[in-house]
Amino acid sequence: MASFRMIKRQFACRQMFRNVIKLSEPTLAPPLYQLQPRANSVSLASTKKILEESLSEIKNAGTWKNERIIVSKQGAQIGVEGQTSSILNFCANNYLGLSAHPEVIEASKKALDTHGAGLSSVRFICGTQNIHRELEEKLASFHGREDAILYASCFDANAGIFEVLLSPEDAVISDELNHASIIDGIRLCKAQRHRYLHKNMEDLEKKLQETSGARQRLIVTDGAFSMDGNVAPLIEICDLADKYNAIVFIDECHATGFFGKTGRGTEEYYGIEGRVDIINSTLGKALGGAAGGYTTGPKALIDLLRQRSRPYLFSNTLPPPVVASASKALDLIMQDDSLTGKVLSNTKRFRTQMVNAGFTMSGDPDHPICPVMLGDARLASNFADKMLQQGIYVIGFSYPVVPIGKARIRVQISGAHSEEDIDRAVSAFINIGRELKVIS
C-alpha cells in the first residue's frame, strides 16, 4: 500500500511538472479574424449571372478594357509590366511632363514633412491648412478671378456646383457632348435641363429663346472636349450669353496649364480673357497630375459653395503633398511658358505627318488631343496592342466611352516629347496602319 501511494505521488508530481512546462511555453496568437465568403444565396447567384452576362457582352463586342501595369514614374517614357525596354507614352494627360518633374516631387516630399500625409478631416472641421488657402488664391489669380475652392477632383467640383447654383426657377443649357461628370452634376440639380447640339450655335440660341422665362440661365460647355480634341466656339457662346442675359460655365480640364499662349486655357486661346463667368478645372492633368479639382469665379459663389456644396462638405481635404505638388507645378507654368509652346509645336508636327500619311484625324489642329479615327472597336483595340509591340503606348477607345462606330486611338501630345519621339510614333502608326489596311 505504501509503495502504491509513492507511485501515485510521483505520477502527480510529473503531471504538475508537465503543466508548468506547458504554461511557460509561448502561446501562438489566435489567427486574425477572416471574413469567409458568403455562401451563394439564390438572389446573389441570380445577380452574378446577370453580371457575367454583361461582362460576356462587353467581351463579345470587342470593347473589353484591359488595364496595363506601369512600373515607373509617369513620363514621356515609361516602364510597362511585361515589356523589356522603355515605352513611349502617348496617352497620358501629362501635357507638360510635370508629373515627375524634380521640383514638383521635391515640393511634395517637403509638404509631407511639414504638413503631414493628410488631415483626416473635411475642410470646415479641421481640414484647412495655410497651403490650401494659398493654392486657392494662386489659382484665382492665375485665372484672373475673385476666389477659388478646392475639391478632391474636378468630377467632385462638377458634382457640387449645379445643385447649389440653380433652382427649379432656373435653366441649364448643356452641350450634348459634355463630360460625364458635367452630365451627372446637372442631374443632381432641380433646374430645367436642356441640351443643345454639339457646338451648334443655332440650336443653343433656340434653347435660350425657349427658356426666356427662367430666373437665370446657365450655358455649360467643355472648353476642349476630351474624346474629340475639338474646342468650344467660346466667342460665339459668350456673345449669345450677353445677348440673352445668360451666364457661362466652362470645364477647362483639358486646357488649363497648356492651352493658350501662357496656359490660361480656352479664353486665352480665343483672346477673350475674363468673359466666362465660372471655370471648373483639374490639378490632375497638366498641374502635376496627382489629384484634385477646383471652381474659380465670383467670391459670392465660392463662399456659397463652401457652405452648401456636398462633395466639398463631405469629402476629406486634399492631402498636403498633392496641394504642394500642384502649387509648384503652377509656379513653373507661370514662370516659363516655353513648355506650352512645345506642346503646340509637337501637336502640329504629329498632326501634319499623320494627315499626310492618310489617317483620318479628329479635333482642333492646335489641341494636343489627337484622335486617330478607326471606327471599329476590335480594330482600335488590336491596333493599340500592336503599337505597344512597337514600343508606343496608346489605348483604343470604344463604346461606351465614345459612340458606337466611332472607335479611335486617342493620342495625347506632351511638351515632354522630343521631335524624335513624335517621328517614331508616326512611323509606328504608318507601319501598323498599312498592316491592318487602315491606310494604303
- Domains, the chain, ordered by start: 66-95+337-436 (3.90.1150.10), 102-335 (3.40.640.10)
Which residue type, as a one-letter code, is found at position 399?
A: Y
- For cell 504629329, the residue is 350
What's the grid cell of residue 421? 519621339
117-to-110, 112, 288, 294 alpha-carbon distances in Å: 11, 5, 17, 20
Asked if 320 contacts 111 with a C-beta cutoff of 8 angstroms, the reply is: yes
Q: Look at residue 13 in the predicted model and tell me its pLDDT.
A: 52
CA dist., res. 325 & res. 292, Å (int): 11
Q: Look at residue 23 in the predicted model and tell me its pLDDT.
A: 47
Cis ω for the linkage preceding 400 (within 30 of 0): yes
What's the grid cell of residue 7? 507511485
Q: Look at residue 35 in the predicted model and tell me its pLDDT.
A: 65
Q: Look at residue 279 in the predicted model and tell me its pLDDT.
A: 98
Question: pTM of the entire structure?
Answer: 0.88
pLDDT in tens, 405-429: 999 999 999 999 999 999 999 999 9
CA dist., res. 270 & res. 437, Å (int): 39
Q: Look at residue 204 in the predicted model and tell me its pLDDT.
A: 98
Asked if 370 contacts 349 with a C-beta cutoff of 8 angstroms, the reply is: no
CA dist., res. 146 & res. 192, Å (int): 28
Per-10-residue mean pLDDT of the chain, 440 residues long, equals 50 52 52 64 88 92 83 94 93 96 97 97 96 98 98 97 98 97 97 98 98 97 96 98 98 97 97 98 96 98 98 97 98 93 97 98 97 95 95 92 92 97 98 97
Active site residues: 226, 254, 285
